Chains A and B, each alone.
Chain A
Amino acid sequence: MNALEPNPVKKKIREIKPFTTASITPSLALIRKTLIFDLCTVKRIILSVFFMVLVPALILVFTPSIVLSGEEHVVQLLGFVTWYYNFAILFPIIIINATGPLISEELRSGTLLFLVSKPITRTKIILSKFIALLVFGTIVIILSLSIICLIAIIKYSFVDIGSYLGIFFLYGLIIMLFFGGITMGFSSIFSRPRNVLLLPLALVIFSFLVMMMFKPLLLFAADNWYEKYLLYNFDIGYHFSNIFLWIGESFDPEILDYFAMIFWMFGITKTEYDGWEVNYVKTNYYPPVVSFLFLIGIAGILITIGVFSLKRRDISG
């Protein structure tokens, strides 16, 4: 064969059209694009991590060393703020804000028209974007918890850094699956990005702020209305706290004692007076695994509705 002639085998290979078999390349391309260009922008990452780290870091920095003289537990010191401020309020807002525009913005701007003309199914479009969101959320959780732990290690030799990391990493993943899932569902159902954000944000505000304010009234009512009218069934905060306690106890069995009051406010415990003192006992309305399946089920149902909604939708740019 003449050295200048192209290799016929290579030439033949080059002539082969893409897609002789089902390809995952389109999905991978969409995951990568969503992650790099839509989610993991420098500004978004810096802002998300900054606000996630801010309050725990302030607590660490301003806690006098004199009170940290024994065998200290970072779960006890930072547990409540990380659980409530970081993972009940802030992280859901970060996830909702990141997920909301993923489909609805493409619909609004017209880029979805071009996307659906390419050989990728609408189901794969939603799932690819959801996977990208999970990667983004995981990056934010890991970065934030790592920085908090680094500051904690610098400040004091806590004995349970591993437990803190383990509890909040796993709990963060569940928060992300739930709020990412429902927002992704809404993003595929509604066209306006504003509507997409409004519903999940309302859920966060209602479950973790409004309910927290009014729940003591229900709990203190003469015959515990919260229990009597089975309100815990509809209380997302209860189910999340149930899961949090489940994860927390597997890393640190004393977690219920650290935050007994908070668990009571979420309906996980109730008070019993034995003549000497008030004791907190578990309500056990649901096993934690049921709460987990309940929340993941809601997210799964909304994503499925989103997939069907997008499949049926006429996309005309």
Chain B
Amino acid sequence: MVQEKSFIPEIWTQELTKIYDRGENSIKAVDKIDITMKPGVHGFLGPNGAGKTSTIHMLIGAISITEGKAKIKGEYAGSIRARRIIGFLPQNPSFYDTMTGEQYLKFVGELSGLRRKDAKEKALELLGKLELLEARDRNIEKYSEGMKQRIGIAAALIHDPELLILDEPTSNLDPIGRANIIKDIKELSKKMSVFVSSHILSEIEQMCEKVTIIHKGKIVLTDTIKNIKKMHSIKGSQNIVILDTSSNEKLIQQLNEKDYITNAWIDETDNKIHMISTDIEMLQKAIPKMIIENNVILRAFHQPEISLQEIFIEIIEDEVENE
């Protein structure tokens, strides 16, 4: 893969590989992965142990690259120039517990190259934005998990990075904390690109336009969520249709008599009619007629949308079967 001259990707990797050499038991954590991330929010998905964190740690320069190349906005990953561009939130961020929130952010600001005065201004601004202003003089060890995650995000943002790399930002958080972090990430994505890893797919679905799915160190899929869903709905659930009316029982027998319906039943999970049809167009023409003839009210008539979670499970199961 050759990097295009006119377009500098936010993240670009070529056959990026990480092997942990532990004597006889060498572990290939990342296996020749190619990523080209365009501006926006990019999700990095994979089950636990898939190689997400190892990839991120190579991108930030914390661990060495065994083989391949990685660049951040055209700068080699791990170089000082690349590290100036990124803001990073680790999976389980650790803090200097004896520091207060404000002291910590000021320190991180200066560590990122801001002058002392600017670091202080920026720290106060971020503490305000992330609703930590009241706790700014409290030691970080006394912060809740949610507050710690927010101070971690503030630390990643203090030097106005161009690319934010978040490793499992919602892990260890309660549902409200998760919702708040997702809201913050969505807000941040208006100003900068975000590369976010997670195994909680519903969250990724809310935040990202494009995702890369990694399994056992290898990329198994990379595309926009829209395309992935389109591709998988064609692949898996093209014949399923859901119908909901004011009297589902009244219609079920008639539906089962149609030639183009293989099976129709009232599903226990939602009390709606689920049908498998061999001719969707025919069905779409027939349903309005049936509604009028039977004098029932139409509540819903659609094909089920497959969730990213279902697609993910399907992909991983396919991968396991192919091994």
A interface residues (Cβ-Cβ under 8 A, vs B): 17-19, 23, 25-26, 28-30, 32-33, 37, 109-111, 113-121, 312, 314-317
Q: Known contacts A317-B90, A317-B94; is A18 also within 8 Å of B114 by CB? A: yes
| A113: contacting residue among B80, B83, B90, B110, CB under 8 A | B90
Q: Which chain B positions have C-beta within 8 A of A30?
A: 111
Q: Which chain A positions have C-beta within 8 A of B275?
A: none
Q: Known contacts A18-B113, A113-B94, A119-B80; is A316 also within 8 Å of B63 by CB? A: yes
Q: Which chain A positions have C-beta within 8 A of B57?
A: 113, 314-316
Q: Which chain A positions have C-beta within 8 A of B15?
A: none
Asked whether B110 lies within 8 Å of A317 as measured between CB atoms, the reply is: no
Cα–Cα, bound, A26→B116 (Å): 10
Asked whether A26 lies within 8 Å of B155 as measured between CB atoms, the reply is: no
Cα–Cα, bound, A283→B96 (Å): 51
Q: Does B180 sit within 8 A of A, measured CB to CB? A: no
Cα–Cα, bound, A72→B154 (Å): 62
Asked whether A116 lies within 8 Å of B110 as measured between CB atoms, the reply is: no
Cα–Cα, bound, A114→B95 (Å): 9
Cα–Cα, bound, A30→B112 (Å): 11
Q: Known contacts A118-B111, A317-B94; is A312 also within 8 Å of B83 by CB? A: no
Besides A25-B114, A33-B96, A114-B94, 11 other A-B contacts (C-beta < 8 A): A18-B118, A18-B159, A28-B110, A113-B62, A115-B111, A116-B60, A117-B60, A118-B108, A118-B111, A120-B111, A316-B54
Q: Which chain A positions have C-beta within 8 A of B88?
A: 114, 117
Q: Which chain B positions have C-beta within 8 A of A18?
A: 84, 112-115, 118, 159
Q: Which chain B positions have C-beta within 8 A of A28?
A: 110
Cα–Cα, bound, A26→B92 (Å): 23
Cα–Cα, bound, A15→B110 (Å): 17
Please list the 7 inter-chain residue pairs (A to B) with the smallest Cβ-Cβ separation, ordered nearest first.
Answer: A29-B110, A18-B113, A110-B94, A314-B63, A117-B88, A117-B60, A119-B83
Asked whether B86 lies within 8 Å of A117 as measured between CB atoms, the reply is: yes
Q: Known contacts A37-B99, A110-B94, A317-B94; is A117 also within 8 Å of B110 by CB? A: no
Q: Which chain B positions have C-beta within 8 A of A115?
A: 111
Asked whether B113 lies within 8 Å of A25 as measured between CB atoms, the reply is: yes
For B67-97 the 0/1 string (1 means CB < 8 A from A) is 0000000000000110110101011111110
Q: Which chain B positions have C-beta within 8 A of A17?
A: 84, 159-160
Q: Which chain B positions have C-beta within 8 A of A33?
A: 96, 107
**Chain A nearest CB, measured from B318 CB (Å):** 30
Cα–Cα, bound, A28→B107 (Å): 10
Q: Which chain A positions have C-beta within 8 A of B159?
A: 17-18
Cα–Cα, bound, A109→B94 (Å): 7
Asked whether A116 lies within 8 Å of B160 as measured between CB atoms, the reply is: no
Q: Does B64 sit within 8 A of A, measured CB to CB? A: yes
**Chain B nearest CB, measured from A274 CB (Å):** 63
Cα–Cα, bound, A114→B62 (Å): 9
**Chain A nearest CB, measured from B109 CB (Å):** 8
* Residue in chain B with minimal CB distance to A108: B94
Q: Which chain A positions have C-beta within 8 A of B111?
A: 25-26, 29-30, 115, 118, 120
Asked whether B96 lies within 8 Å of A37 as measured between CB atoms, the reply is: yes
Asked whether B96 lies within 8 Å of A29 as measured between CB atoms, the reply is: no
Quick one: which of B62, B63, B118, B159 has the most chain A CB within 10 A? B62
Q: Which chain B positions have C-beta within 8 A of A118?
A: 83, 108, 111-112
Q: Which chain B positions have C-beta within 8 A of A117?
A: 60-62, 83, 86, 88, 90
Asked whether B84 lies within 8 Å of A19 as measured between CB atoms, the reply is: yes
A-B contact pairs, 24 of them (CB 8 A): A18-B114, A18-B159, A23-B113, A25-B110, A25-B114, A28-B110, A29-B111, A37-B96, A37-B98, A110-B92, A111-B94, A113-B90, A114-B88, A114-B94, A116-B61, A117-B83, A119-B84, A119-B113, A120-B80, A314-B20, A314-B63, A315-B57, A317-B92, A317-B94
Asked whether A312 lies within 8 Å of B64 as measured between CB atoms, the reply is: yes
Q: Which chain A positions have C-beta within 8 A of B86?
A: 117
Cα–Cα, bound, A312→B108 (Å): 24
* Residue in chain A with minimal CB distance to B54: A316
Cα–Cα, bound, A82→B291 (Å): 102
Cα–Cα, bound, A113→B59 (Å): 12
Q: Which chain B positions have C-beta within 8 A of A23?
A: 113
Q: Which chain A positions have C-beta within 8 A of B198?
A: none
Cα–Cα, bound, A113→B118 (Å): 24
**Chain B nearest CB, measured from A240 CB (Å):** 35
Q: Does B13 sit within 8 A of A, measured CB to CB? A: no
Cα–Cα, bound, A121→B91 (Å): 22
Cα–Cα, bound, A116→B64 (Å): 12
Residues of chain B in range 46-69 having any CB-CB distance to chain A below 8 Å: 53-54, 57, 60-64
